[in-house]
Amino acid sequence: MKVVVLSALGNAVAQRCISSLLETTTAVDFDLYLVREKRFREQTLNQALLLTGTDEDVLFVGDDIEFTPGWYEALMANYDQADILGMSMLYPGTTKVQDCGYDLVQIDELISLEAKDRGLSKGQIEPFAIRSCDALCGCFMLVKANVFAYVSSFSEEGQNRWGEFVFISQARQHRATVSVIDHFLYHYGKSTKSNPDKLLSSTSYHIERSIWQDILHRYIDPARYRIRMYSVLEENFLARLQDSTLRILFYGIGTVTEFILNKVQPKEDYIAFCSGLPEERGLDFRGQKILSIDEVAFSEFDWVLITPLYIGEKLYHEVVLPCLPQGFKGIISIVAIETTGEERVYFCRDISPFKGAITGIHQNHERLR
């Protein structure tokens, strides 16, 4: 096996990754390559293949991965189960799940990739050994040599964001199998997404969605979706959003915000949008300019909805709360997500210190059967 560490964040970060690799695989024989990030991740991956060749298995590892004891044994125990193998991920230094692989889902005709079990504690999920999935965290991906006979390089159509997914989709068209193992590594999630060099950094969701739609059109056959998921928003929540007297600020320009606004049409003069991502500042969204979080006049709003998937409470404490003026009278809520079986439910949850401020909006919701 050949191991490629994709280095985007400098020597210190790469050294942490490589040290954890060596410390957890003392008796394993492999060739190790360090490849510096090119202008796009896909170019980096193709440069790695020029160095390693495609006659052996290649393990691609982002430098933002920290290996944990037993990973190699888990990989070898499940080696024969798939052609492309990945590992489950935890947020660094925690037991909080980042993903157990990714699944294609369709929610009210919107197709997206969902991180399996994101936000749960490691102890809350049932051990699964290995499971089939539609995509993997690209920062740990073992590609067996037989796959390269069908797909010999990484298409740049991924545009620094979806390259590994496009590769996997092309391989699956040739009947390659993809699975994730339930051994957990730590993933810092900064290899390309947060690189200070914007040439090496992924673009925001606002820009990525157009890229994603093109990739769906090119590579995804709707008949092959593994799961179809439905959405529910509580009626009282929707009714309150439709209230023409409420001044509402949406924090987060993503799938949840789009989904909500496809369900209701608040009075345009009474809504605004903001983002914590510098690259989204000033972009147009539904006829309005996206504000930066640090330029929002919170006192002008009655209700702030924090919508980024799974991490609303974290964003509230780390980003929104420090920006609130003293004596702020409005209501802060997060839109939470719950997935069970083949259904996905959105609901609004008030968070401290405003819990209970919105009458009739709570966690009791009717699931769509």
Higher pLDDT, 355 or 74: 74
Enclosing H/E stretch for 43: helix 41-52
Residue from 321, 260, 320 nearest 293 by CA: 320
pLDDT at res. 344: 65
Strands 331-340 and 343-350: antiparallel
Residue from 345, 329, 327 nearest 337 by CA: 345
Confidence of residue 362 (pLDDT cuts 50, 70, 90): very low
Q: Is the pLDDT of residue 284 over 50?
A: yes
Q: Is the pLDDT of residue 197 over 70?
A: no
Size of the chain in residues: 369
Enclosing H/E stretch for 50: helix 41-52
Mean pLDDT, rounded, for 83-104: 94
- Pick from 49-53, 84-88, 256-260, 301-305: least confident: 256-260
- pTM (2 d.p.): 0.75
- CATH 3.90.550.10 domain residues, the chain: 2-224
pLDDT at res. 220: 82
Higher pLDDT, 129 or 194: 129
pLDDT at res. 351: 60
What is the SS3 assignment for 220?
coil
**What tokens appear for 272 in the block?**
């605004």
- CATH 3.40.50 domain residues, the chain: 235-350
Mean pLDDT, rounded, for 182-210: 67
Confidence of residue 341 (pLDDT cuts 50, 70, 90): low
Residue from 195, 229, 248 nearest 344 by CA: 229
Mean pLDDT, rounded, for 141-149: 97
Most trustworthy range by pLDDT among 35-39, 220-224, 307-311, 345-349:
35-39
Mean pLDDT, rounded, for 171-179: 94
User: Which architecture does CATH list for 235-350?
Assistant: 3-Layer(aba) Sandwich (3.40)
**What tokens appear for 276 in the block?**
């914590």
Mean pLDDT, rounded, for 306-319: 81
Separation CA 196–CA 9 (nearest Å): 9
Higher pLDDT, 110 or 354: 110
Separation CA 114–CA 85 (nearest Å): 18
Residue from 294, 292, 299 nearest 252 by CA: 292
Mean pLDDT, rounded, for 318-340: 81
pLDDT at res. 356: 45
| Homologous superfamily of the 2-224 domain (CATH) | Spore Coat Polysaccharide Biosynthesis Protein SpsA; Chain A (3.90.550.10)
| pLDDT 10s digits, 23-50 | 999 777 889 999 998 888 899 999 999 9
- Pick from 263-267, 271-275, 331-335: least confident: 263-267
Mean pLDDT across the chain, nearest whole number? Answer: 83
Mean pLDDT, rounded, for 53-58: 96
Q: Is the pLDDT of residue 11 over 70?
A: yes
Confidence of residue 342 (pLDDT cuts 50, 70, 90): low
pLDDT at res. 121: 87
Separation CA 43–CA 155 (nearest Å): 9
- The sign one gets for the Cα dihedral 45, 48, 53, 57 is negative
